[in-house]
Amino acid sequence: MRRRLVLIVICFVSLFTSAQTDEINKQNSKAKNDSIRKADFLNQIGNGYFPTRYFNIDLRYLIKFNQYEGVRSGLGGMTSENFSEVFRLNGYWVYGFRDKRAKYSIGGGFRLNKERNTWLNFDYTDDLQETGSSNFLTDSRFFTFFEPRLINISLFHKHITKTVSLEHKLLNNLLTETELAISKIEPTYDYTFVTDAGSFRSFEISTAKIGVQWSPFSKFKFENDRLNEIENGFPKFTFQFTKSFENVINGDFNFAKIDFKTIYQLNYSQKSFSSVTLVAGLALGETPLTHLYHAYPNNINKETILQRFSVAGLNSFETMFFNEFFSDRFVTLQLKHYFKPFEISQRFKPQLVLINRYAIGTMNNIDKHQGITFNTLDQIYTESGFEINKLLFGFGLSFSYRYGAYHLPNFEDNVALKFTFNISL
């Protein structure tokens, strides 16, 4: 009898313990899934998307401002993997209230290989682009809640572009992207490009691009059928080659461009580090101003320091005036040192950043670019300064001073005092 009673008690305890264990496991599993979902949601927001079940809303197109369009507002996004894991649609529609013109893009892609994240993409875009800007195909999607340089840009060209591109992760640490594009381009400002074939106020360009991004010291791991970067290693190298073809699908010019960028970060502690960013570009052949280089200027063409008070960019020259310099070959070097944040209180942790920036460049046949006046960077452009970030709600202050070969006669013209804006999720 006692044996039976003991066995009954043991069975009861075992069942009770098992039930408790199952409940704890369920709760732990639920907490883990909730944590994964929360991390994925924040990652999506950090990349500039607000995720819904079948469509991810692109936050970049909700509202912006620049000197040409004024307020620019619209809606865009792309389908999620819940819609399809092998096919996606993307696009946007925006309206500029100052130029009273709508812009849009529509496209899609087919996944050819999941393991190597190989996509074949098609896009049609009717929009504006900043003259002198140069983007790398393989750069990760860049998003900030506030884009400071955009506010002050005034030099844009209209373009209608059709593209076919192939993105492929050749190796875990080697990302490639190839693009074929046809563009009709019309500057919004007074500009004529003079060549041996004639004078062009608008033109067509047919290009082929190949971009490579190499991260030799990053570490990757397959998670949830995706190759994720689990350790961000430095240095990183990005290379891009562009070739424009004359008389191919109505292309007007024959030129080539080589672009290079490397980023290095030296960590001293968890929150103190130094960073080095080197960017170089070279354009050969008859290249219109739209496809040449500026040096990331971010200073408004106004008289006083207070009139020029705006928001500092992340990697821009704060004392260099917009449209002041253009080059067909250039190099920029930016050095930053981030001190450990001052932990004044749990919520108030400002951070001091010391900054030095250098640029040099030149341009052949400057007389071919008519209707617009600019200088070249034949000598080294230098500016230094500091930022005190995260003083209040992500805002801080920036001070920069221009000196050396391009120092201006009036002291205040060499000074840039601005807000900074940094926020992390």
Q: What is the pLDDT of residue 15?
A: 45
Would you say 177 and 136 are in contact if contact means Cβ atoms under 8 Å apart?
no
Q: What is the pLDDT of residue 152?
A: 85
Residue 96 lies in a domain: no
| Residue 149 shares a structural domain with residue 24 | no
| Residue 295 shares a structural domain with residue 156 | yes
The pair of three-digit structure tokens given for residue 260, joined into one six-digit string: 């290079």
| Residue 30 shares a structural domain with residue 134 | no
Q: What is the pLDDT of residue 35?
A: 54
Q: What is the pLDDT of residue 231?
A: 83
Residue 392 lies in a domain: yes
Instruction: State the residue range of the domain holding 284.
Output: 114-421
Would you say 186 and 202 are in contact if contact means Cβ atoms under 8 Å apart?
yes
| Residue 5 shares a structural domain with residue 147 | no
- Residue in 386, 387, 422, 274 with CA at minimum distance from that of residue 338: 274
The pair of three-digit structure tokens given for residue 71, joined into one six-digit string: 């307020």
Task: Give the number of domains in the chain.
Answer: 2
Q: What is the pLDDT of residue 10?
A: 45
Residue 322 lies in a domain: yes
The pair of three-digit structure tokens given for residue 350, joined into one six-digit string: 């400002």
| Residue 29 shares a structural domain with residue 147 | no
| Residue 182 shares a structural domain with residue 316 | yes
Residue 59 lies in a domain: no
| Residue 183 shares a structural domain with residue 324 | yes
| Residue 158 shares a structural domain with residue 276 | yes
Q: What is the pLDDT of residue 302?
A: 87
Q: What is the pLDDT of residue 363?
A: 95
Q: What is the pLDDT of residue 13?
A: 41
- CATH number of the domain residue 296 falls in: 2.40.160
Residue 95 lies in a domain: no
Residue with tokens 């960073």: 275
Q: What is the pLDDT of residue 7?
A: 45
Q: What is the pLDDT of residue 369?
A: 97
| Residue 9 shares a structural domain with residue 149 | no
The pair of three-digit structure tokens given for residue 388, joined into one six-digit string: 């005190």
Cα three-residue angle 220-216-214, rounded to 5 degrees: 95
Q: What is the pLDDT of residue 281?
A: 97
State which residues of the chain have pLDDT below 50: 2, 5-13, 15-17, 21
Q: What is the pLDDT of residue 5?
A: 46
The beta-carbon contacts of 55-58 under 8 Å, at least 24 apart in sequence, are 55/79, 55/80, 55/83, 56/80, 58/92
Residue 83 lies in a domain: no
| Residue 221 shares a structural domain with residue 334 | yes
Cα–Cα distance, 23 to 15 (Å, whole number): 12
| pTM for the full predicted model | 0.86
Would you say 45 and 60 are in contact if contact means Cβ atoms under 8 Å apart?
no
Cα–Cα distance, 30 to 36 (Å, whole number): 10
Residue 303 lies in a domain: yes
| Residue 11 shares a structural domain with residue 122 | no
The pair of three-digit structure tokens given for residue 180, joined into one six-digit string: 């074929």
Residue 295 lies in a domain: yes
| Residue 274 shares a structural domain with residue 152 | yes
